[in-house]
Amino acid sequence: MKSRRIKNGVTMSSWQTNPSQQISGDIRVPGDKSISHRSIMLGALAKGVTEIRGFLSGDDCVATRQAFEAMGVNITDQDDVICIEGVGINGLQAPAKPIDVGNSGTGMRLLAGVLAGQSFASTLVGDASLMQRPMKRVAEPLKQMGANVSVNAAGCAPIAIAPSSGLHGVTYHQSVASAQVKSALLLAGIYAEGETIVHEPGVSRDHTERMLRSFGYPVETIVTGESRTTKLQGGGVLNATQITIPGDISSAAFFMVVAAIAPAGSVLTIRGVGVNPTRTGIIDILQQMGADLTLENQRKVGDEPIADVVVRASTLKGITVPRELVPLAIDEFPVIFVAAACATGTFILRDAKELRVKESDRIAAMATGLAALGVKCEVLEDGMVIHGNSDNPFPNAATIDSLTDHRIAMAFAVAGTRACQAITILQCAHVATSFPNFRALAAAVGMSVEETNDLAGTSDG
Ligand code: S3P
């Protein structure tokens, strides 16, 4: 029987994978998580009714929707369309209690930017994983803008936000490119007097800028070599619009890799995938590793480019990941590490320290799981070295802890297709934060991922 027990307030769910043969099919992955969050936020702050198609109904984006409902925004479902009755920039109401964004770093950091500009007090909280993630990176620059924002002594949530005497634009230099920090500052910048300018040392995803423009709010981006400067004037207006959300390339990544490492003859098509150039590091990295991956039917939905991605099984080789591709593939490294374990030769990733502060420490989580499966890998402070074995990548049977990190769970489910034996993956319930129908799509393409008793849940009662 399926097991979904509640332990310490967390839903427990384990998976058992079995090796697969051919991987094939024609699928669509759910809507993009980053864009779904932003569509709720900007739709709520716009004048008029915004319609959203392709919204990701995963736990993270549902938490963002509920946050705005708790602040008086009317949001309804009409068939597959979400309708938001925007309240305008200054129309939000004080929430009755702390806003709980669950597991979502994007929800928390972007909301901090919106709430910094409000005339009411609010508090942001999340689940056990999120409450340990760094929040000073948004609190500090928001304070520089005049916001009344505080985090705890460890620099983490709860984030307490009190009304301020008004925000003013700043010029902020980020030490690491981060779309979440940039977006928080741009959203606060709407409420600020003057211009908000964010400098980044590299490229980060630009969905906020694209969507602000779709809502009629001007944003300027200046490219200088690898760095980016983004500017916005406060005091503007967002006008309701219609948004169609592309398939999430971060979810498609699991299926790109599972097809690439599958037995010869496997072919998989993933339709309608967002291929915004700030997100396509996974495609470049897999192609550099020798994957047979092509983009077909390239087109646009609204302001975002999409394509059908066709992947054929092929022999992969290890590479040194070019530094400039790291931020463009930052969420995909768990499954890229699985591809590397199935490749010939050595794979090297550096400059990816951010992986240590995602939903888990993804360098440690992946290294522990890969080593348990018999992969030779070396942990670096800012990355990993993996010595692949294309003939027998995962020689050992193992039980792997996903540490409640959705992308760790799904990455090991992909590894399970090439394992010698069944593998067990613990604490998989958080997959629902980004990819609620992952197991159904996995089954449709020929993977075997079953829910089973949760061993973590039974070990200590
Ligand atoms: C996101 C930005 C990235 C990414 C996260 C989603 C966003 O984080 O890892 O999953 O939607 O803006 P950083 O901006 O912190 O790099």
Q: Which residue minimizes the CA distance to atom 16 of ligand 1?
A: 178
Q: Do domains 5-31+246-452 and 33-244 have the same CATH topology?
A: yes
Q: Which atom of ligand 1 is nearest to the CA of 354?
A: 16
Active site positions, annotated: 331
Determine the pLDDT at residue 12. 73
Task: Cite the DSSP H helix spans in 73-178.
Answer: 105-116, 136-144
Determine the pLDDT at residue 11. 56
* Measured CA distances, 41 to 61, 164, 199 (Å): 10, 21, 23
Residues near ligand 1 with C-beta < 6 Å? 34, 106, 178-180, 183, 204-205, 330-331, 354
Distance 389 CA to ligand 1 centre (A): 31
Question: Do 140 and 188 contact (CB within 8 A), yes or no?
Answer: no
Helix %, strand %, coil % of the chain (to 5): 30, 30, 40
Distance 175 CA to ligand 1 centre (A): 15
Q: Which residue minimizes the CA distance to atom 13 of ligand 1?
A: 178
- CATH topology classification for 5-31+246-452: UDP-n-acetylglucosamine1-carboxyvinyl-transferase; Chain (3.65.10)
Domain ranges of the chain: 5-31+246-452, 33-244
Beta-carbon-side half-sphere exposure of residue 417 (alpha carbons within 13 Å): 29
Entry field: residues in the chain: 461
Distance 106 CA to ligand 1 centre (A): 6
396: its two tokens:
């050992």
Q: Which residue minimizes the CA distance to atom 10 of ligand 1?
A: 331
d(CA 156, CA 125) in angstroms, rounded, equals 10
Q: For 233, phi and psi rounded to 5 degrees?
A: -95, 140
Beta bridge partners of 320: 348
Q: Which atom of ligand 1 is nearest to the CA of 181?
A: 14
CATH of domain 33-244: 3.65.10.10
Which of 56, 109, 205 for a ligand 1 pocket mutation test, highest count of atoms within 8 Å of Cβ? Answer: 205
Between helices 406-416 and 333-341, what is the axis angle to 10°? 20
Task: Cite the DSSP H helix spans in 237-352.
Answer: 249-260, 281-288, 333-341
Distance 296 CA to ligand 1 centre (A): 27
For residue 180, give the nearest of 383, 54, 331 by alpha carbon: 331
Per-residue pLDDT of the chain in tens (461 residues, 90 and over written 9): 333 444 444 457 999 999 999 999 999 999 999 999 999 999 999 999 999 999 999 999 999 999 999 999 999 999 999 999 999 999 999 999 999 999 999 999 999 999 999 999 999 999 999 999 999 999 999 999 999 999 999 999 999 999 999 999 999 999 999 999 999 999 999 999 999 999 999 999 999 999 999 999 999 999 999 899 999 999 999 999 999 999 999 999 999 999 999 999 999 999 999 999 999 999 999 999 999 999 999 999 999 999 999 999 999 999 999 999 999 999 999 999 999 999 999 999 999 999 999 999 999 999 999 999 999 999 999 999 999 999 999 999 999 999 999 999 999 999 999 999 999 999 999 999 999 999 999 999 999 999 996 554 433 32
